[in-house]
Structure 1
Amino acid sequence: MKLIQLTAITAAVLASTAALAADPVIVIDGNDAVVYEAEPVAVAYQADAGYAYNADAGVLRNTTGAVVGGTKTFFQTVTHPAAISAEVGTLGYGANIAWGLNDKTEIQAGWAGGDAADLFGGDFDANDVNYDVDTDFSNPYLGVQVRPMANWFTMGAGIIVPDNDIDVTANANNNSYRINNVDYDATQVGTLKGNLEHRNKLAPYATIGFRPNITNNFGLFGELGAAYMGKTDATVNAVNGTNPVLGAVAAADAEKELEDKDWLEWMPIVKVGATYRF
């Protein structure tokens, strides 16, 4: 009986002192004093990492939990992006950083710019006049990239903050410019030089694309889409002509034609690039 009592008392004491298990426990029964050295209790905690790489989808998983989890995990999430990418396309040369929200969704922040004119031919036609183009693009953007079927197919949408300089120079055809169905002598008019500027300060865009993963860390991508840049404001001047009055009339007509050109309202997005995933 004494042995049973002693065992029960010892078990109760050990259970109630689990948090202090490293300290000795003394049990007194009658005239006997027994010292028990409690073994430390090891408690295993498994922290939720908040994110894990999904090699098939190519994005981080469960990052939403990390963002909601607290300030520390939010900071870790922001400072540990899912991927970085380099790109080249009609918006220019650039790069972006992506953060994974889950296995299908990423937030992207990037920039594309520079002299992109040669990427889409370096010239364009406005009615009957051909213009050489020189550009200095700056297109920071923020968007969301979604894999609706959790595979290589992607859909993107977001906002561009365009600051694009587009300089144009008219090319005479048989020593004349045909503007608004009127032929202007190039010698009298001179050279028509101008500048185009988009009116939209914020330009929404949408794309579709593919993002295959070559390895767990490295992948490629391609995207097609458009950005709504809005109408354009054109400024055209005639220089080095023999008839300044005629040159001013031709320049004013050229401005109207450039501002009416629809393709400048919607900027095509065509880009390819490479991605490194962490």
Structure 2
Amino acid sequence: MKLIKLSAISAAILASTAALAAQPVIVVDSADAVVYEAEPVAVAYQAEPAYAYNADAGMVRNTTGAVVGGTKTFFQTAVNPAAVSAEVGTLGYGANVAWAMNDKTELQAGWAGGDVADLFGGDFDANGVNYDVDSDFSNPYLGVQLRPAANWFTMGAGIIVPDNDIDVTANADGGISGFYEVDDVKYDANGVSLEGTLEHRNKLAPYATIGFRPNISKNWGVFGEIGAAYMGKTDATITSLNPDQALLAEDSNGTPIVGLTGKDLAASAEQELEEENYLEWLPIVKLGATYRF
């Protein structure tokens, strides 16, 4: 009888373990039927999501853990960015998408472009010659935004892939009847016009910025950045509409120079533009608004 009872108890334990549930188990011996209530053997724990929102920093925490957590989590992270932003500045009008790796580091991918010259006056000076600018910018970029103190102060760095069209037209000092002063030579501008294009040599342009990104609500924030991108040496192409026209010219001492033409003037202007070191740098100034998910 004891053997039968022990066998029945063993069978009941095995059954309850396989089911992993607290179902009533009936054990029968020769005298009584006894009901035993099994304890649950599985305990569920609620884990904190890897992409929990940090209201203080306005960013997503611990996304790094989510990225390495598995393919499904990586996909969810990639298609659910931390923020989207709209911007306007020296790179143009644009937008970017950001993914936060933690409360201090954010990856960005964006684009800015358009006619930037209209935003900032549309002209510049190069060694005394003023040039009107007409531009069509396209500046996709990848970068990292850092919050060193996990607050509103930011530092950024990354790479721009510039594809910018820059057209320039020289303005004579004093108008059509004035003069161009190029390479210490004063050329009579009567009937002569200079125009051309500028192109930067860098196909990848590194940039760096500092800025601020305060939050104005749980989801909305604003930002501003200043910095610069190194665009590389400038290739200028300047032409004269009257290349063979003989020009009145004089040196810095007022001594007449004979034999100079519109083509000579264009070549000198082209060389001066290419020697301007500041044209190798594109200043970055931008303002924008951010929506955080």
The normalised TM-score by structure 1 is 0.90
Aligned to 2:226: 224
**Range that drifts further, 50-59 or 193-202:** 50-59
2:100 is aligned to 100
Residue of structure 2 in register with 1:32 after alignment: 32
More divergent stretch after superposition (240-249 vs 158-167): 240-249
Contact 1:191 1:241 in 2 (8 A): no
Task: Give the aligned partner of residue 85 of structure 1.
Answer: 85
The counterpart of 2:182, out of the listed 172, 179, 183, is 179
Distance (whole Å) between structure 2 residues aligned to residue 96 and residue 72 of structure 1 = 24
Instruction: Tell me which amino acid in the other structure corresponds to 1:215.
Output: S
> In structure 2, what is the Cα distance between the partners aligned to 1:120 and 1:81?
32
Q: Is the 8 A contact 2:242 2:262 kept in 1?
A: no
CA-to-aligned-CA distance 1:177-214 (integer Å, 9 cap, x gap): 111111112225x2100100000000110000000000
Indicate the larger mover: 34-43 or 178-187. 34-43
Q: Check the 8 A contact 1:203/1:228 in 2, yes or no.
A: yes
2:134 alignment counterpart: 134
Q: Give me the whole-angstrom Cα distance separating, in 2, the residues matched to 1:15 and 1:226.
A: 71
Deviations 1:58-89 (CA, angstroms, capped at 9, x unpaired):
11001111001000000000000000000000
Distance 1:240 1:227 in 2: 36
Q: 5+ unaligned residues in a row in structure 2: which ranges?
A: 247-259
Residue identity matched to 2:268: D
Aligned to 1:235: 237
Match of 1:109 in 2: 109
| Correspondence for 1:213 | 215
Count of residue pairs the alignment pairs up: 271
1:40 shift after superposition: 6.1
Match of 1:195 among 194, 197, 215: 197
**Could you tell me how far apart the structure 1 residues matched to 2:188 and 2:80 are?**
62
Further displaced range: 33-42 or 212-221? 33-42
Cα deviations by residue, 1:135-181 (Å, 9 ceiling, x for unpaired): 10011000000000011000000000011111000001132111111
**CA separation in 1, counterparts of 2:58 and 2:48?**
20
After the TM superposition, which segments of 4 or more aligned residues of structure 1 sit over 4 Å from their partners?
35-42
**Is the Cα contact below 8 Å between 1:14 and 1:38 reproduced in 2?**
no
Give the counterpart letter for 2:286 in structure 1: K
Distance of 2:164 and 2:225 partners within structure 1: 21
**1:250 aligns with one of 246, 265, 271:** 265
Of 254, 279, 283, the match for 1:264: 279
Q: What's the secondary structure of 1:187's corresponding residue?
A: coil
CA contact (8 A) 2:20 2:42 kept: no
Could you give the per-residue CA deviations for residues 243-269 of structure 1, whole angstroms, max 9, x where no partner exists? 177111111111101111122111110
For the aligned residues, what is the CA RMSD? 2.4
- For the Cα contact (< 8 Å) 1:179–1:253, is it kept in 2? yes
User: How far, CA to CA, are the matches of 2:124 and 2:54 in structure 1?
Assistant: 44
Q: Contact 1:211 / 1:219 at 8 angstroms: preserved in 2?
A: yes
Kept in 1, the 8 Å contact 2:111–2:139? The answer is yes
1:20 and 1:33 map into 2 onto residues whose CA distance is: 23
**Structure 1 residue 238, shift from structure 2 partner:** 0.6
Give the 3-state SS of the residue equivalent to 1:17 in structure 2: helix
1:14 CA drift (Å): 8.3
Question: What is the rounded CA distance, in whole Å, between the counterparts of 1:162 and 1:240 in structure 2?
Answer: 33
CA drift at 1:51: 1.0
Gaps of 5+ in 1: none
1:199 corresponds to which letter in structure 2?
Answer: R
